[in-house]
Chain A
Amino acid sequence: MLVKPPLVLLSGPAGFGEWLELIDKSFIGALTLKTITLNPKEGNKPSRMAEGNNYIINRIGLENPGVLKFLEMLDTFKNLKSKIILSLGGDTVEEYLKIAETIKPYSKEFDAIEFNFSCPNVEKGGLSIVGDLQSWEKIIKTVRKILPDSFLIAKLGIEGIFVENAADILVNNDWNGITLINTVRGLHFENGKIILGGLSGPLLKPIALRAVYEVRKRFSDIFIIASGGIYNSNDAEEFMKVGASAIGIGSALFKSPEIVEEIGKKLMEVERSND
């Protein structure tokens, strides 16, 4: 998959492309849509987000209109005039396979399809599926059969499985890419009240760097979208050094959409000097 510049707006914070009104599209290589599930999800009860020292915690809970309603919106995404990565999620093996079947006739509309295996916010959600290796391997094998021509990416967290072992299974089943890492489970006190959610922000950077490093060390060809604590061009450079194929920007959008332009510019300079 050619992502030029190698910069991806990540699923979740990137929404359904709302930011493109504020960001010069030439700096965006691709945009991964909000995760879609088989059935509509209203998401978690408020409140859903808080900020701590060097991290953000969220418990959105995969709020989305469900795949059927989503398919009615397809034209909207064509108008975004950006490469679009579809993100799919589920609560059970059956849901992952069924959504892959549902999306199959439309798969060519997307430049890649990412399966979210790691959202830590949903009860019995992605996280537990990776934890059950047999179930997860079944999804990986079957989805590849259902979508033989798609550029398939798995989005993984660091919990439930070692990322390099997950990458091994992905490579053996002809998956093309891996997004490393998703949010990490966290607990935050807000005015004395406990919030359980997924951590993002600068705190994740060393964890994400290590995950990218470990996977690249073992697999030279897999496409890696680096995700976790990337807030400036120095962060981006470090991830490229350890083997990222593309730089993912997620929560940093909440700080400033201009971060995308700063990093995009840097990545374009690097590309030019490599040509």
Chain B
Amino acid sequence: MEKLYLKVQEKVQVNKDTWLIIFDEDFNFEPGQFIMVETPKLVRKPFVLGRWSDKSSISVQVKGEGTKWIVEESNFLKAHGPLGKPFTKQAGKGLLIASPTCLTLANVIKEIFETDVLIGSRTPLIIDIPYKTAIGNEDFMNSLKNSMGYDWYLVYGSKNMQKTVYDIFKGKKLFFSLEEYMGCGIGACKSCAIETKHGIKHVCTDGPIFAGDELCW
């Protein structure tokens, strides 16, 4: 973990509310790790690290003032990281199921693991991506139901989306990257607690990726 000063090289709009923020350098991180990014808000926000055009990058969905600032105004970001436990190698072939906010991560996962990628977006994508894409709920549900044959699944998305995926693939080897409000990202403040079958755990230091059978659904 270190202090990061990141020059934004390019911003690419992915769909109605999500942008790729591509930095002008490629720094070291492991798949699944994240950074805490400073915005005009009071608390730094976590973003999963990925790569785009061989540069380190994050994907940002505009949800409020802070994310709006990153997308519309920032050309330089202060952050700390990389943080969190990396995703470890799994046997067999996996499927990464993700919202467009994890598009840059897909490139990293693809490089390291034997994986297919399914991107589920509520609104049509503006750019061409090299991955299978499902637009809207019906398309997404159909794509999931046609994806039963994988050895493991790694899921990035909203709580609702994760629950949907869990219900469909219950009993299979599932991993979920969780989001919970984070104060520090480094294990100091204990704000990002989640309830698991083994008691309270923290997304920033025990995760962000958790096995599906460990979580309380």
> Complex Cα distance A45/B199, Å?
10
Of the listed residues B2, B41, B183, the one surrounded by the most CB atoms of chain A closer than 10 A to its CB is B183
Set of chain B residues within 8 Å of A16, measured between Cβ atoms:
188
Contacts A46-B195, A48-B190 hold; do A21 and B183 have CB atoms under 8 A apart? no
- Give a binary string over B55-82; 1 marks a CB under 8 Å from any A CB, 0 the rest: 0000000000000000000000010100
Q: B38, B182, B189, B192: which contacts A15 (Cβ < 8 A)?
A: B189
Set of chain B residues within 8 Å of A51, measured between Cβ atoms:
41-43
Whether B180 contacts A14 by the Cβ 8 Å rule is no
Whether B42 contacts A251 by the Cβ 8 Å rule is yes
> Complex Cα distance A55/B189, Å?
16
> Complex Cα distance A251/B38, Å?
14
Contacts A50-B181, A58-B183, A253-B184 hold; do A21 and B1 have CB atoms under 8 A apart? yes
Whether A46 contacts B194 by the Cβ 8 Å rule is yes
Q: Which of A237-275 contact B (CB under 8 A)?
A: 251, 253-258
Q: At the interface, yes or no: B193 with Cβ under 8 Å from chain A?
A: yes
Q: A43, A48, A50, A254: which contacts B184 (Cβ < 8 A)?
A: A254
Residue of A nearest to B188 (CB): A15
Q: B42, B184, B193: which contacts A46 (Cβ < 8 A)?
A: B193
> Complex Cα distance A237/B78, Å?
25
Q: At the interface, yes or no: A123 with Cβ under 8 Å from chain B?
A: no
> Complex Cα distance A254/B184, Å?
5
Residue of B nearest to A252 (CB): B42
Q: Which of B145-195 contact A (CB under 8 A)?
A: 180-184, 186-195
Q: At the interface, yes or no: B44 with Cβ under 8 Å from chain A?
A: yes
Set of chain A residues within 8 Å of B44, measured between Cβ atoms:
254-256
Q: A15, A47, A63: which contacts B181 (Cβ < 8 A)?
A: A47
Q: At the interface, yes or no: A201 with Cβ under 8 Å from chain B?
A: yes
Whether B186 contacts A15 by the Cβ 8 Å rule is yes
Q: At the interface, yes or no: B200 with Cβ under 8 Å from chain A?
A: yes
- Shortest A36–chain B CB gap in Å is 13
> Complex Cα distance A47/B135, Å?
31
Residue of A nearest to B193 (CB): A46
- Shortest A83–chain B CB gap in Å is 18
- Shortest A163–chain B CB gap in Å is 25
Residue of B nearest to A19 (CB): B188
Residue of B nearest to A63 (CB): B190
Contacts A21-B1, A201-B42, A256-B44 hold; do A46 and B188 have CB atoms under 8 A apart? no
> Complex Cα distance A255/B3, Å?
13
Contacts A22-B1, A253-B184 hold; do A43 and B78 have CB atoms under 8 A apart? no
Q: At the interface, yes or no: A130 with Cβ under 8 Å from chain B?
A: no
Contacts A22-B1, A22-B80, A255-B38 hold; do A43 and B190 have CB atoms under 8 A apart? yes
> Complex Cα distance A200/B195, Å?
25
Whether A256 contacts B43 by the Cβ 8 Å rule is no
Q: A14, A18, A22: which contacts B2 (Cβ < 8 A)?
A: A22
Set of chain A residues within 8 Å of B194, measured between Cβ atoms:
46
Interface contacts beyond A21-B2, A43-B200, A201-B42: sample of 10 additional A-B pairs, CB < 8 Å, sorted by A: A13-B184, A13-B188, A16-B188, A22-B80, A34-B188, A42-B200, A47-B181, A60-B190, A63-B193, A253-B188
Q: Which residues of A contact B (CB under 8 A)?
A: 12-16, 18-19, 21-22, 34, 42-51, 54-56, 58, 60, 63, 201-202, 251, 253-258
Q: Which 9 A-B pairs have the closest CB atoms?
A: A15-B188, A49-B191, A18-B188, A254-B43, A18-B186, A63-B190, A48-B191, A49-B181, A254-B183
Q: Which residues of B contact A (CB under 8 A)?
A: 1-3, 38, 41-44, 78, 80, 180-184, 186-195, 199-200
A-B contact pairs, 26 of them (CB 8 A): A12-B189, A13-B183, A15-B186, A15-B188, A18-B188, A21-B1, A22-B1, A34-B188, A43-B190, A43-B200, A46-B194, A46-B195, A48-B192, A49-B43, A49-B181, A49-B192, A51-B41, A56-B43, A56-B183, A58-B191, A63-B193, A251-B42, A255-B44, A256-B38, A256-B78, A258-B3
